[in-house]
Amino acid sequence: METMIILLVGVLVSTATYLLLSKNMIRIVLGTAILSHAIHLLLMTMGGLKQGSVPILGDQADTYTDALPQALILTAIVISFAVTAFFLVLVYRTYQTTGADNLYDLKGPHDE
Amino acid sequence: MNNILVFPMIVPILAAMLLLFFRSNRSIQRWGSVGAMAAVFLISMWILQQVMRRGILRLDFGEWLPPFGITFVADIFAVLLVTVSSLVTVLCLVYAAFVKDEKRESFFLYPFSLLLAAGVNGSFLTGDLFNLFVCFEVMLLASYALMTLGGEKKQLTEGIKYMLINILSSWLFLLGIAYLYGTLGTLNMAHLSLRIAEAGQPPLLTTISILFLVVFSLKAGLVLYFWLPGSYSALPAAISALFAALLTKVGVYALFRTFTLLFYHEPSFTHTIIGYMAAATMIGGSIGALAHRDVRKIASYNVVIAIGFILVGLASYNEAGIQGSIYYLIHDIVIKGLLFLLVGTIVHLTGKSRFDEESGLIANYPLFGWLFFIMILSLGGIPPFSGFAGKLFIGEGAIGAGHYGLTAVAFLSSLFVLYSLLRVFLIMFWGESTIMSKNQVPLPIGTLAPLLALGILTTVLGLGMDVLSPYISEAADVLMNPDLYIKGALQNN
């Protein structure tokens, strides 16, 4: 199971890399979003998948699920949500101000 | 009792939230934020005394004992940085309050600055790697907003690059955390240090350490500084001073923490790499500082050179080197704040940013001109000012560790720092005055006051080395002996 998820993470990362390398800014934003999904999956996998138990370590428990990765992912999801929202607004505002929706048009002549 | 440790982070956050309700009342915005940061400064001074007297302090949130809960751990190194950065933030905010950039002020300049300070202080104090990530993000989100506040074309285009780079480096940070959690099963820094020491840092962990090196180098601008000059030079004075004084320093702090507390078992590999990276940073920064004519770019490349210089101390990894780095880190927070405020003021006064388009400023603004000169001397490490002690100890440390080439590069880079800014001083401040006294843009005493305060601070820090030295040696002691930190961070008292 872990191997499958790791492969999925790999697929997501390669998709995201492809999107990040494109010129179009919306694609770049989508790339960062996919990138964050990949890392959330990886965090979850690192804690071990499917122990088939509750996240409580009692006196009689012989197996339990690690609850920490879930907490980490939850925090990371909230953060990446906020960052993606801000990034989208920034890209839209840049489009409004400069009329450019791809990075090459933004380059412009440098003053030096 | 240790609840006081959360104040440097929570006070700015609460103040920022309160200020959101007073959007139209500018004077509450201005002086409320200054007051909040001044309170943080006083609190951190008090914490500093406490830590000095009682040893490392720790706060377990929600009574969850370490290594299970999130903790704030205050050792001298962290608290020193919190104190200095809060003080510099106060002065930058005072400057902003007198410049009265009303367009930005009405779009929450002060709340964002406070949130930035909260993230910075949190990063210094936290004892948990994931919490460090969260505090980084608090700081970065505020910095994204400050970066693009005002919506000028240059800010937006630089803002996109800045944001993308930081999203990527945060991603790599999470990747490192995931690997570390997968291999060691903990994220409390002291506990991590214990487990790494038990395992003897096998090659797998060294590989993960390189991942962290890349992450924090991106944040600090070590070798990977390509994003820095463009974005810092697109900002107005007060914000760029905040960025230059605080943001890269948090990356440097994280590098010090990781490579003295966690991954210190293979210095011949990791610390040697840091040494090469520091040399490359100083060389690249020097070239950049000489190549540009825009004073803001020159100032930005000076940030880069200083980062390389501080990390020479970490690369030597001995008592003297680490002490020198701490001295220099404190000095650099103060002096980079001053440098960027001065440069921003020049641009504000003359409307020009190229140094060959203006001359004779010292005739128009004598006090301002001399302040610029003092700043150059301090930045170059000339004795009575604060840069000297750091340079001395870093040099001693690097020679002690046998890094002769690195020492040579470090001190040559200081000459380039001196040259790049003296050139600005000679051309812009000396010579025939081009501004008639009736056309002169007034420089109100209010804007000059924070600059003067920073100038006095760098002098006092230089002259008062004796007062500072017990703190520095204590801080270096904790960094060099991870056991002390682990004892303070894990032991139940």
Say whether B178 and A43 touch across the interface (CB within 8 A). yes
Say whether A98 and B157 touch across the interface (CB within 8 A). yes
Q: Would the pLDDT of A51 be above 70?
A: no
Number of domains in chain B: 1
User: Which burial class, exposed, middle or buried, applies to B399 when counting CB atoms under 10 A from its CB (0-12, 13-18, 19+)?
Assistant: middle
Say whether A93 and B179 touch across the interface (CB within 8 A). no
pLDDT per position in chain B (493 positions), as tens? Answer: 588 999 999 999 999 999 999 988 889 999 999 999 999 999 999 999 999 998 899 999 888 888 888 999 999 999 999 999 999 999 999 999 998 888 888 889 999 999 999 999 999 999 999 999 999 999 999 999 999 998 888 899 899 999 999 999 999 999 999 999 999 989 999 999 999 999 988 999 999 999 999 999 999 999 899 999 989 988 999 999 999 999 999 999 999 999 999 999 998 999 999 999 999 999 999 999 999 989 999 999 999 999 999 999 999 999 999 999 999 999 999 999 999 999 999 998 888 888 888 888 888 888 999 999 999 999 988 888 888 989 999 999 999 999 999 999 999 999 999 999 999 999 988 888 777 777 788 888 888 999 999 999 999 998 988 889 999 999 999 999 999 999 988 887 5
B468, part of any domain: yes
B293, part of any domain: yes
Q: Would the pLDDT of A112 be above 70?
A: no
pLDDT at A109: 55
B228, part of any domain: no
**Which residue blocks in B20-152 are alpha helix, DSSP H?**
26-54, 76-99, 102-105, 109-125, 129-148
All structural domains of chain A, each given as residue ranges with its CATH number in brackets, are: 2-50+66-102 (1.10.287)
Which of A75, A76, A97 is the closest to B156 by Cβ?
A: A97
pLDDT at B387: 87
Residue B62, chain A, CB below 8 Å: the answer is no
Q: CB atoms < 10 A from the CB of B152, how many? A: 15
User: So what's the ipTM on this one?
Assistant: 0.92
CB B227 within 8 A of CB B162: yes
B312, part of any domain: yes
CB A13 within 8 A of CB A35: yes
- The rounded distance, in Å, linking the Cα atoms of B59 and B79 is 14
Range of the domain at B441: 267-480
Sign, CA dihedral B258-B261-B262-B267, equals positive
Q: Rounded to a whole number, what is the distance in Å from the CA of A47 to chain B's nearest CA?
A: 6
B211, part of any domain: no
B415, part of any domain: yes
CB B88 within 8 A of CB B335: no
pLDDT at A105: 80
B439, part of any domain: yes
Say whether A39 and B160 touch across the interface (CB within 8 A). no
B360, part of any domain: yes
pLDDT at A110: 53
